[in-house]
Structure 1
Amino acid sequence: MNKEEILKNDASFIWHPLTQHKTAKQPLAISHAKGNYLYDFDGKKYFDGISSWYTCSYGHAHPVLTRAIKNQVDQLHHVVFAGMTHEPAAILGNKLTAILPDNQQKLFFSENGSTSVEIGLKMAFQYHFNKGEKRNTVVAMENSFHGDTFGAMSASGLSVYNGPFEEFFIHVVRIPVPTKENLQEVLQLVDAIVEQHQIASFIYEPLVQGAAAMQLNDAESLCQVINKFQQYGVIAIADEVMTGFGKTGTYFASDQIGAKPDIMCLSKALTGGIMPMAITSCTQNMYDAFYDDELSKGLFHGHTYSGNPLGCAVASAAIDLLTSDEIQNNIKCIIQSNLEFKARIESHHSVAAVRIKGVILAIDLAIEMERYGNKRNEMFQWFWQRGLFLRPLGKTVYIVPPFTSSPEEMNFVYELLIEFLEGVI
C-alpha cells in the first residue's frame, strides 16, 4: 500500500488508543524503522525520543534481537504453555532471575503491562485466601498509573483514564506519595489504613511515576512505607513495567530501594519492543502459598500466548544486550549528558522544574495548560515537524531515549528542546 491507501483504510477501520477521533489530527504513516529512527513514506526520519513508549530500548530492528527471532521462528513459534514447556522459556527464566532482585524466584508469563499487574493483584488476593484470610483491599499511591484492565485501572489514580468505570472497581485506598517531609504522616496513615481495612497488597511505581508526568519518588521514604506494609503481612507489588530494564540507571528501579517487593510486574522493554510479552515475578514464599494437593489453590489464570517461544527468545537476547558492557557504558553516557543538559536549562525562563532519573529526563514548562488539549497537540506536532518523536504529558516534556543513542543524537534532541523552550513563552 502507498501512504494514501494506508490513511484511507486507517480512517475507515481503525480505532486508535488514547485518541478522540473527532478532534485528532491524521496519524503519521510510518513506513519502517531502523536504529533509533522512524521513517515515513516521504523518506523523512524521526528520532525516537521516547523509545516508542519505553519499549525499544535498543532502537529498532537491532540485529541481535532480529536474529534471535529469526533463529527461533523455524524451530518453534508457539505452543500451549499449560502442561508444556520449551527451551526458550527455560533459558529466559535463568537469565531473568539472574538480574532480578535476589528474592524473585518464579515467573508467570502474559502479554502486556496491564495483564502483568492484573496477575500480580490476583496473586496477592489469592495468597491471603489460600492462607484462610479474606483481604479485599489494595493500597496504591496518588496519581499512580498501573494499566487499563479492571484491576490495574482500579489501582490507578489518574481519573482521566478511569471515569466511566469507577463504580466497577475493586476496593482501593490511596496514600500520598511518601516524601522526606510527609513520611511520618504517611507511616501513621498506613497504620490507620491497616487497622480499618483488610489490606491484601500495596502496589507502587518505584522511583518514577511515569503517567504522572515522570514524577520522582524518594527511595528511602518509599522503602520505609514498603517495610511498614510488609510488617503487617501486606504483599508489596512493584510495578516496573515502565522503569524496568535499565531506564533508571540500574537493571530495575527496585535495586535502588532497600525494601524488596514480593511481586514485580515487567513488560515494555522486556523484549526490546520486538514482541508483546510480560512477566509477573514473585518470591518463593508467594509461590509456596499456591503449591498444594488441593487443585483449587493453584493460580487459575492463563493467557493463550503465555510463554510464547518467540517472545522468550528475543527477551533472552535483550537481556544479553542490557547486561553487555557496550549498553551499560552507553547508559552511563546518556545519564551524564542528561545531567549536563539539566545544568544548562534549569534556570531558563520557560522551565519550572527539571527531573532526571537514569536516562529519563523531564522538563516542566512554566505555563498552565490542560493535560490533553490543543496546546499539547501543537507541542506534539512541533517536535514531529523537526524530526523528533516525543509525546508531552500536559506541560511536561520528557525523553526516554534508546540506550543505543549516540552523543550526536542526544545533542540533536537537546538543541531542539532548547529551541522549543525559547518559543514557549
Structure 2
Amino acid sequence: MSLNDDWRRRSLAAVWHPCTQMKLHDAAHAQPLIPVARAEGVWLHDHEGRRYLDGISSWWVNLFGHNHPGIRAALVDQLNTLDHVMLAGFTHAPVVELSERLSVLTGLGHAFYGSDGASATEIALKMSAHYWRNAGRPQKCKFVGIAGGYHGETVGALAVTDIALFREAYAPLVRLAAIVPSADARQAMTGESADDVAERAAAALDAWLADHAHETAALIAEPLVQCAAGMAMHDPLYVKRLRELCHKHEIHLVLDEIAVGFGRTGTLFAHEQAGIRPDFLCLSKGLTGGTLPLSAVLTTDAVYAAFYDDEVARGFLHSHSYTGNPLACRAALATLDLIEQTDAIARNRVTAERLVAQFAPLSAHPRIRHARQRGMIFAWDIATSLPDFARRYARHALAQGLVLRPIGHTLYAMPPYVISESEGEQLARGALAALQATLAEEQGSAVANERGTVDGV
C-alpha cells in the first residue's frame, strides 16, 4: 500500500471531513482524498511527489503562499516567548498591537476576537442585539440578510445565511432572519447596468425596513462579492446605499469581510470602494495569511460605550478559550507587515490584469456565461446540464494538477497573491482543459442516454 493510500485509509477510518458527504470518498467512488505532506508557495505536495496548484487558496485563506518564511519566523519567535494566555484578566503585546493596527486601518475602535468566521458573525449579531437592549430598545433583536448570503454554519450564523442546503437541513434549530433581494449584477435586465440592479435592490430593502426597522437590530452583508452564492458580484454603489439606509432606519450595518478582506477585491477592505464605514466589521480567513485560526470583530466607540458599565449584565457576555491567542495574533501582525512591505494591493492589481489576460481563452469558451472579476477573484458560470458538474470538474482539475472546486455551476479561481506568471499560465491552461474534459463527459452521457432511448424503442 502506498503512503497516499495508507493516509487515505486512516483518514476515512478516523476523520469526519467538513461539509462532505463521506460516502463520496469511498473506494467505489472516483473522488479520493488527497493526502498533503507539505506545502510551499502556491503548491500542495502529496506523499508520492505529485503537486497541486492551490487555485482557491485553501478555502480563501492563503494570501502570500503556503509556508511563507516571514510568517513562519514570526511564529517561531512568538512560540519561544508566549504560546497562550487567557484574555480574561490578562493581555499581551501581540493582541494589543494587532488591535491598534486594525483600528488604524479601519477607523473602528475596540476589537473582539474569536477563532473563525462563523464565530465573528455570532459575535457581531449578539453585540448588536445586546447594544439595543442596553440602549433601552430590546425589541430591536431581529436581523435581515441578503439573498444568497453566507456567514458561517454555526446556529447563529446560519440564521443569516441564505443557502438552501443549510437552511433546509437546520431550519428547526435557528431563528431565521428575513432576507431581502441581492444586487447580484447577473440579474440585470435588458438595458440595465450594475448600478440599476443596485438601486433596485436598495429600494426593496428601504421598503422592507420601513415596516420592520423598529424590531431589527442589524443588516448583515458581504460587500462586493457574495462568495458562496457563486461569486455573485455587485457594484460598490450598493454598499453605499446599505450604509445610507441603515443610518436612515436606525439599524446597524454589519459587513462580513471574512472572505473578501485583506486585498482580495483590489482594496485592503472591500467597503473602501464604497467610501463608507460599517458599524461592525467581521474579519477572518486571510487575517493570519492562512496559517492559524483567528477572527476579529471591530466596532465603533459608540457601541463599545454602551457596554461600559458597573453592571456585569451590561457587559458583552461572550468568550472563547483561545480568544486573542498570541500565536495567531503574531501571524496576523506578520501578514499585515507583508501587505505593507510588498505593496501587495498595488501588486495585486498588476497580477489580476495578467490573470485576466491568461484566462481569456477560458472566458471566451462558448459554454461560459458571465465571466467576471473583482480584484483577485475570478468567476465563470458554466452552461451545463450536469447536476454534479462541480464534483466532475474538481476531479478533472486534480488530473491537471489544480485545486479548483466549483460552487454549483460556477467555476472560480482565488489564487494566492504570489502566483507567478508561469503558474498563472498553468492555472489558466489547466482550468480550460478540465472544463473541456468535463463537458466531454456531458456529451458522452447525452449520447448514451439518446442511444438508450432508441434501443428501448
The TM-score bracket by the shorter chain reads over 0.9
Contact 1:139 1:203 in 2 (8 A): yes
Deviating more after overlay: 90-99 vs 279-288: 90-99
Aligned pair partner of 2:42 in 13, 20, 36: 36
Residue segments in structure 2 that go unaligned for 5+ positions in a row: 26-30, 184-193, 441-457
- Specify the alignment match of 1:108 in structure 2: 112
Structure 2 CA distance for aligned equivalents of residues 120 and 55 of structure 1? 21
Aligned twin of 2:310: 293
Q: 2:211 aligns with which of 188, 195, 199?
A: 195
Relative contact order higher in (CA < 8 Å, ≥ 6 apart): 1
Per-residue CA distance 1:378-410 (angstroms, 9 max, x = gap): 210111111111111111111111111111111
Provide closer, same or farther for how the CA distance between residues 180 and 329 of structure 1 changes in structure 2, counting only shifts above 3 A.
Answer: closer
1:213 Cα deviation after fit: 0.8
Name the residue aligned to 2:286. Answer: 269
| Contact 1:113/1:147 (<8 A) preserved | yes
CA shift in 2, pair 1:189/1:70, >3 Å: closer
Cα–Cα, structure 1 residues 416 and 3, in superposed 2: closer, same or farther, change >3 Å?
closer
Q: 1:181 aligns to what? A: 196
Distance 1:368 1:353, change over 3 A: farther
| Residue matched to 2:103 | 97
Aligned-residue offset at 1:422: 4.0
Deviation (angstroms), 1:47: 0.8
2:365 and 2:401 map into 1 onto residues whose CA distance is 23
CA 30–323 in structure 1, closer or farther in 2 if over 3 Å, else same: same
Deviation of residue 171 (structure 1)?
4.2
Residue 83 of structure 1: aligned partner? 89
Following the alignment from structure 2 to structure 1, what is the Cα–Cα distance between the partners of residues 398 and 431? 12
Identify the structure with the greater helix proportion. Answer: 2
Question: Does the aligned pair in 2 maintain the 1:88–1:313 contact within 8 Å?
Answer: yes
Shift of 1:287: 0.8
Partners of 1:35 and 1:188 lie apart in 2 by 44
CA offsets, 1:327-358, max 9 Å, x none?
33431222111332455444321211201000
Paired-residue identity, %: 30
**Does the aligned pair in 2 maintain the 1:338–1:356 contact within 8 Å?**
no
* Count of residue pairs the alignment pairs up: 420
| Distance in 2, Cα, partners of 1:226 & 1:64 | 37
Letter in 2 for 1:347: A
Q: 1:131 is matched with which residue? A: 135
Q: Which residue of 1 aligns with 2:406?
A: 392
How many Å separate the matches in 1 of 2:15 and 2:201? 48
SS at match of 1:30: coil
Picking from 49, 62, 87, the partner of 2:55 is 49
CA pair 11-345 structure 1, distance change in 2 beyond 3 A: closer
1:339 paired residue number: 356
SS of the aligned residue for 1:53 comes to: helix
Cα distance in 1 for partners of 2:386, 2:220 equals: 30
CA distance in 1, matches of 2:46, 2:97: 37
CA distance in structure 1 between the aligned counterparts of 2:178 and 2:165, rounded to whole angstroms: 18
Q: 1:241 to 1:188 in 2, by over 3 A?
A: closer
Tell me which amino acid in the other structure corresponds to 2:251.
V
Equivalent AA in structure 2 for residue 20 of structure 1: Q
1:143 corresponds to which of 141, 148, 154: 148
SS at match of 2:22: coil
Q: What's the TM-score, normalizing by structure 1?
A: 0.94
The equivalent residue for 2:164 is 159
Rounded to whole Å, the distance in 1 between the matches of 2:220 and 2:429 is 38
Structure 1 CA distance for aligned equivalents of residues 93 and 208 of structure 2: 48
Alignment partner of 2:310: what SS? coil
> How many Å separate the matches in 2 of 1:3 and 1:31?
9
Offset at residue 229 of structure 1 (A)? 1.8
| Structure 2 counterpart of 1:216 | 233
Q: Which residue of structure 2 aligns with residue 5 of structure 1?
A: 6
Contact 1:342–1:354 (Cα < 8 Å) also in 2? no
CA distance in 2, matches of 1:245, 1:366: 32
Q: Distance in 1 between matches of 2:406 and 2:390?
A: 7
Counterpart AA for 1:54: W
Aligned counterparts of 1:149 and 1:416: Cα–Cα separation in 2? 35
8 A Cα contact 2:263 2:344, kept in partner: no
8 Å contact from structure 1 (residues 89, 307) kept in 2: yes
Cα RMSD of the aligned pairs, angstroms, is 1.8
> Over residues 254-284 of structure 1, what are the superposed CA-to-partner deviations in whole Å (9 max), with x where a residue is unaligned?
1112332100110001001111111011111
Secondary structure of 2:237's aligned partner: helix
1:325 offset after TM fit, Å? 3.3
Give 1:167's aligned amino acid.
P
Larger Rg belongs to = 2
Q: Which whole-Å CA distance do the structure 1 matches of 2:113 and 2:156 have between them? A: 17
Letter in structure 2 aligned against 1:9:
R
C-alpha distance 274-164 of structure 1, shift in aligned 2 (>3 A): same
Report the 3-state secondary structure (helix = DSSP H, G, I; strand = E; otherwise coil) of the residue aligned with 1:356: strand
C-alpha displacement of 1:50 = 0.8
